[in-house]
Each structure stands twice: as C-alpha cells, then as structure tokens.
Amino acid sequence: MEKENLRLSRLPLVTSGVLETHYYTADNPLGKVSGCFEYRTSGTSSGRRKSIYYTPSDEEEYVRIKLDVYRHILGSGHYRRALADMGTGHAEATAVDVFRQLGMEAESISFKLPIEQHLEKLHRFQPDVLYTMPSILERILLASPDPSAYGIRHVILVGEIAPAGWIARAAEQLNISAASITDTYGSIEIGTMAYFSHEHGRYLLTEGLTAEGIGTEELGEGIEALPDGEQILVLTSTVREAFPAIRYVTYDVVRDLRPIIVNGRKQMSFQSIVKRIGPDLKHGEKISIYDIEDVVYRHLGQVSVRVHMDLQGLKVKVYRSHQAVALEQHDISESVLQAVRAELEERIPEIGAMVRSGIIGRITVEQGDFEDESQRSSVKQKKIYYDKIEGS
C-alpha cells in the first residue's frame, strides 16, 4: 500500500480546476459516446449542475460494489421491503434496482414532495429498510408524531455528514439501535466509496479504491492549513473508465486516515468526515458541521440543526421535533442554549480563533420553528448557510 501511494504521488492531482477545464465542459466528447450513461449533480456552490458520465462497464461495477456493501451492511436480517427517499443523481437513479437485486420489494419517493406525503408513504409501505439522506431523515423525524410506527428496522444513509450523536438520537426516535443506522460515503464522480463499520468503529473504503491524505499546501489554492490528524481525501479508482479518477481530490476532510486489519488483510479506513473545503467556501472552510452538530446533540434531545453565517457572526438554529411540540414540552431554556454556545467556542478551535480575531462575531444559538416547505427547497441541508455576506 505504501509503495502504491509512492508511485501515485508522482502523478499530478486531479483538482476541481482541472475538472472544470477538461471534464465539466459543454463539449465533453463523452456526451456523444453511444451507450454512456449521463448523471447530473444536484448543484454546486455556483448553482450550476455538472454532468458525470459512466460507461456500461462503469455502471456494472458501480452496482456490483454497491450490492456487495449493502449485503455486508444488512447481513442476514431478512429484510423484505426497502424505501428509497432520496435526492437526485446516481444514487437516486439506481437505488430501487439495487434493492430489488437483493430480493426486496422496493419503492421510492421524491424529496421535493411535502413531508406529509413522505409520512403517508412510510405508514402505507412500512419499509424494513429506509435509504435516505440525513437532511431528509431529519424532516421525517421532526414532523412525525411517532417515528417508530413506520416499522423501520435499518437505515442506510448517504450524501451528508452524519455525526455519531445525531445517529444516536435518530435511532432513539425510531426505536432501533444505533448499529441499525449505517452511514455510507459516496460521490457521483466515483460511486460508493466507504461505509461505516460498527464492528471497527471506522469508515472502510470499498473495493477498487486507493486513498491518500494530503495537506492544503499541496493544492496550492490558498486554503488554510488543517489541524493535526485531518487531511484532504484523494482517491484513485481501478474500476472507473469515464472519469479521470487518478488522484482525484474529493475536497472532503477526514480524520485519522490509516489502514487497519480487516479479515486478515490491510484495508484503508478513517475515523470520520468532518467537513468539505474549497476556495469558494469562505470562512466555512474552517468550520466543521460535524463538530457543531456533535456538541448540540449532546446538550439537546430531538432537534434539527442549521448553521448560518453573516457579517455579525455564526448563528446556530435548533428546531424541536413534532413530538416535543405535540407533548407541549417547554421551549429550550436560554441557559442551555448559552451552554451550547460556550462549548462551541471552547471545543472547536477554529471557531474560537475566528471570534477572538474578529473575523466573525460571537456565536449565537437560538431556537427556531420548523417549516418543512423551506426544508425541501434543497436536498442537502447540512451545510453553512451564508446570509448577506459581501462577495457571496
């Protein structure tokens, strides 16, 4: 593994700039190749969707690897029904087919529909397995009088960061164990790239991938250095044809990237995904949604979190669940909200340093009212929202 990484390090990095120039173009010749599959991203920070291409061989390998991962995740659980409640892109387009190949009855529902239709679908279909994104699962949990009534036995997540504290709270509401919620990590460019192993307490990379961790200085894009133990994940795929997946820079920051022994052989792994960086993310590149949510969920119960940044500072909004409101539980006390604020500044060095240096104002933590209509305007909600920042 070390020799392989040494050989790869002699090759150039495939950065976003390289892809913008040579791949994400209107005249990409792959768009004219007969038999190629085209998938489009749900959108970027620029608001522009990008096309990603798969050859028939790419598509076959994508489905095969995903099937292998899901077989491992679900084991011999004798699951009969699966519901895909997803956004857009490759994962959404192939989800139902993958579950059907696993011998399950499978249906899907669009994330754009009102939350009431999601709840009705769950009640009617009673899926053993729910395949969804953290933001969509949050909408379901916040709006459900009793999430355990859907009969969900296992949740497979994809698409966004899912901190351990958040998973524990979601499992509690669904009345399942935390081990029955499995996070997977993938991208439309590569496919399924890793899954969380509850046995090892870490994310394990999937077949056909070689991983490297690099520092921000290797990108040469003016991004500030990362803390010790954090690296930008760079991947090389041996099974991808219609994408330049050789030293592909994911721009995802992972902690403790290293090989471990799995079933008698070395397998690359990492502890967690903490954030996504890039020159277009402004101060958000220094802030980990993973760490913010982890602090909030340890102080509060069944809530959802949204993080906003404006010229005054960082604002963390927390939303109570339908259950809490229906039971007429008291609003979150100001003392608890202030305790969350204090720990955020103390525990996350990047935030504390930005406050002390005057780059951003003090953190505020406040309770908000959950409105599903605003939540379904974008499939991915676990991110930094920039409110009226100059140049944004």
Q: What is the pLDDT of residues 180-196, one digit of tens each?
A: 999 999 988 999 999 99
- The model's confidence at residue 246, banded by pLDDT at 50, 70 and 90, is very high
- The model's confidence at residue 298, banded by pLDDT at 50, 70 and 90, is confident
User: How does pLDDT run across 359-386, given as a tens digit for each residue?
Assistant: 556 678 888 766 655 555 555 656 666 5
Does residue 156 sit within a domain?
Answer: no
Least confident of 61-65, 155-159, 164-168, 356-360: 356-360
- Written as six digits, the tokens of 198 are 């509850």
Q: Are strands 202-205 and 265-270 parallel, antiparallel or unpaired?
A: antiparallel
Side by side, the strands of the sheet bearing 265-270 are 105-110, 81-86, 129-132, 154-157, 181-187, 191-197, 202-205, 265-270, 258-262
- The model's confidence at residue 283, banded by pLDDT at 50, 70 and 90, is very low
Position 308 scores a pLDDT of: 73
Q: Say if CB 364 and CB 292 are below 8 A apart.
A: no
User: How does pLDDT run across 28-85, given as a tens digit for each residue?
Assistant: 999 999 999 998 775 544 446 788 999 999 999 999 999 999 999 998 879 999 999 9
* Predicted TM-score of the model (pTM): 0.75
Number of domains in the chain: 1
Q: Which residues pair with 85 in a beta bridge?
A: 109, 132
Does residue 192 sit within a domain?
Answer: no
Q: Which residues pair with 234 in a beta bridge?
A: 212, 249
- Give the domain range for residue 315: 283-386
Give the Å distances, CA to CA, from 249 to 11, 14, 190, 280.
Answer: 13, 6, 11, 15
Does residue 184 sit within a domain?
Answer: no
Share of the chain above pLDDT 70, in %: 78
Does residue 47 sit within a domain?
Answer: no
Sequence-ordered list of residues with C-beta below 8 angstroms from that of 183, at least 6 positions apart, any chain: 157, 158, 162, 167, 195, 196, 203
Does residue 317 sit within a domain?
Answer: yes
Position 267 scores a pLDDT of: 95
Does residue 333 sit within a domain?
Answer: yes
Whether 254 shows a pLDDT value over 60: the answer reads yes
Position 120 scores a pLDDT of: 95
Position 139 scores a pLDDT of: 84
Sequence-ordered list of residues with C-beta below 8 angstroms from that of 128, at least 6 positions apart, any chain: 77, 79, 80, 81, 82, 104, 151, 152, 153, 154
Least confident of 2-16, 242-256, 299-313, 333-347: 299-313
Does residue 181 sit within a domain?
Answer: no
Q: How far is CA 171 from the centre of its chain?
A: 17
Q: Say if CB 309 and CB 284 are below 8 A apart.
A: yes
Does residue 325 sit within a domain?
Answer: yes
Least confident of 165-169, 280-284, 286-290, 345-349: 280-284
For residue 343, the domain's CATH number is 3.30.300.20
Angle at 345 between CA 342 and CA 351, to 5 degrees: 155
How far, in Å, CA of 292 to CA of 83, rounded? Answer: 30
